A and B are shown apart, each in its own frame.
Chain A
Amino acid sequence: MEWLELFELALPVMLKGALYTLMFALVSMVLGLMLGFSVALVRVARLPVLSQIAAVYVSAMRGTPLLVQIFVIYYGLPGIGIEFDPVSAGILALTLNVSAYLSESMRGAIVGVSQGQWQAAQSLGFGWWQSMRYIIAPQALRLAVPSLSNSLISLIKDTSLVSVITVTELMLATKEVIAQTFQPLPLYLAAAGIYWILSASFERVQKRVEARLEASYRR
């Protein structure tokens, strides 16, 4: 098969798959950040019962393979009458998984802001939530960005795992083209290249965010 022909055949399918991959990554990222922040808050505030539940959740999500989590949600839960379509199941699994990692990064960063900053905020009349929102969280964000980015880059790559539940994202799309063309090496390399481009673009976003947060300290 000619290169050009292969390219023409593979490109539209793989680009469509890449769009799915991007969608999975972005949606899980946003939901994961929200859930992760809530989990971090519950644990930092040491809310009784809730914070224990949160700790177990984080430990379970970090201590079991994402692949197993996807299987439990998509193939397991229907056994007790909870059914998801593949896209929802994929987003749910990725969100639950990444938010556990994100919550730990945020919790570490929040705890890393000195006790003196809490005291200063409280001495001015800020309550717990106001101290968190206006004083602690903005500083924690700056501390957390590098490790949050790590988890988010992993997330982009982890989306390939939802191919196992019949979602035609980049990985499964690639496999389908290979089934027609029997050209695994160039096509898998192309898929790897696309993942790399996605991750590298995200790294650039991260650099920009970091530079902006840093600038507000020095200006």
Chain B
Amino acid sequence: MSSMISINNVNKWYGDFQVLTDCSTSVSKGEVVVVCGPSGSGKSTLIKCVNALEPFQKGDIIVDGISVGDPKTNLPKLRSRVGMVFQHFELFPHLTIVENLAIAQTKVLGRSKEEAEAKGIKLLERVGLKAHAHKHPGQLSGGQQQRVAIARALAMDPICMLFDEPTSALDPEMINEVLDVMTELAKEGMTMMCVTHEMGFARRVADRVIFMDRGHIVEDCSKDDFFGTPRSERAQQFLSKILQH
């Protein structure tokens, strides 16, 4: 399988504090990789390095053959092809739902307003929110907002999707509606890198699991290996704590 995202020896510092140390891994086309680990382990930072929302000082990340760290890379263009979903949804509060889905299509991809809105409506239908197209984000529940955020990313026809703790800010009863959309996406063959604590989702959907601790990638293995017998003691501890419930 060819590699979609390839992360090679990435190091990142905030001042003197090293947040990422020699992180290397890759995500193949069509693969679903879950990144987990305790808070402060650097998993969100790592995933934000993939589309250069966070800069890194050493190493390289290649997305679909394009080097993210290369100063000559047209980052906006690269980012427009990589979908991202954030912990706090980050819908644009001054725009309606359908405008949220259309604005980057028209301003970045140059699609016509009609085409962009038609595509937006189609995607809203897919995540079950067509009826809310003309509301503002503030009128929707957290789960609904996150489904809109996923649809907004999909509207750009991304080559892969990054999820940064997409369910961490949600009330428990809303988590599943978001995970269902993500599961469906994975089944359709989308390449996905997901930072999440949802181990049930990882078990059902992931191909591989990456476990991070204190800026290092400690474990990078198939999901069966990870949930069967993780090699590192740190991952075993983490799993025993998180899987008790």
B84, B90, B103, B139 — most chain A CB neighbours (10 Å): B90
| Residue B53 is within 8 A (CB to CB) of chain A in the complex | yes
Q: How far is the CA of A135 from the CA of B94 in the complex (A)?
A: 8
| Closest residue of B by beta carbon distance from A128 | B76
A218 contact set on B, CB distance < 8 A: 136, 138-139
Most buried by A among B86, B96, B107, B139: B107
> Closest A-chain residue to B155, C-beta based?
A124
Q: Find chain A residues with CB under 8 A from B51 CB.
A: 123
The reply on B203 being an interface residue by CB < 8 A is no
Assuming the contacts A123-B82, A134-B103, asked whether A217 and B76 have C-beta atoms less than 8 A apart, the reply is: no
Q: Is A146 interfacial (CB-CB < 8 Å)?
A: no
Given A117-B90, A217-B138, A219-B136, CB of A122 within 8 Å of CB of B79: yes
Q: Is there an interface contact between B94 and A138, defined as CB atoms closer than 8 Å?
A: yes
Q: Are B138 and A124 in contact (CB under 8 A)?
A: no
Residues of B within 8 A of A121 (CB): 92
User: Does B132 sit within 8 A of A, measured CB to CB?
Assistant: no
Give bound CA distance, A125 to B92, whole Å. Answer: 15
CB of A216 within 8 Å of the partner chain: yes
A77 within 8 A of B: no
Q: In residues 5-39 of chain A, which contact B (Cβ within 8 Å)?
A: none
Q: How far is the CB of B54 from chain A (nearest CB, A)?
A: 9
Q: A116-B86, A125-B104, A126-B108 in contact; A139/B53 too (CB < 8 A)?
A: no
- Evaluate whether A139 and B86 lie within 8 angstroms (CB atoms) in the complex, with A123-B79, A125-B156 already known: no
B residues touching A (Cβ–Cβ < 8 Å)? 48, 51, 53, 76-77, 79-84, 86, 88, 90-94, 96, 103-104, 107-109, 135-136, 138-139, 152-153, 156
Contact present for B93 and A127 (CB under 8 Å): no
Selected contact of A125 from candidates B48, B76, B88, B93, CB within 8 Å: B76
> How many positions in chain A have a CB within 8 Å of any CB in the partner chain?
21
Partner of B84, one of A117, A123, A139, A217: A123
- B244 → A minimal CB distance (Å): 32
Expressed in whole angstroms, the minimum distance between the Cβ of A149 and any Cβ of chain B is: 19
Residues of B within 8 A of A139 (CB): 92-94
Cβ-neighbour of B90 out of A119, A138, A219 (below 8 A):
A119
Q: Which of A120, A124, A127, A138 gathers most chain B CB within 10 Å? A: A124
Is A157 an interface residue, CB under 8 A from the partner? Answer: no
Top-4 shortest CB links A-B:
A125-B80, A120-B90, A124-B104, A123-B84
Q: How far is the CB of A215 from chain B (nearest CB, A)?
A: 10
Are A122 and B90 interface neighbours, CB within 8 A?
no
User: Which one of B79, B88, B94, B152 lies within 8 Å of A217 (CB-CB)?
Assistant: B94
Q: A117-B90, A120-B92, A134-B107 are in contact. List 14 more A-B contacts (CB 8 A).
A: A117-B92, A119-B90, A121-B92, A123-B53, A123-B84, A124-B108, A125-B79, A130-B76, A130-B108, A135-B92, A138-B94, A139-B92, A139-B94, A218-B136
* Residue pair B136, A217 in contact (C-beta under 8 Å): yes
A216 to B99, CA, bound (A): 12
User: B179 → chain A, closest Cβ, in Å?
Assistant: 21
Question: What are 10 A-B pairs at a CB distance below 8 A?
Answer: A116-B90, A120-B86, A120-B92, A122-B53, A122-B79, A125-B80, A127-B76, A135-B92, A139-B94, A216-B136
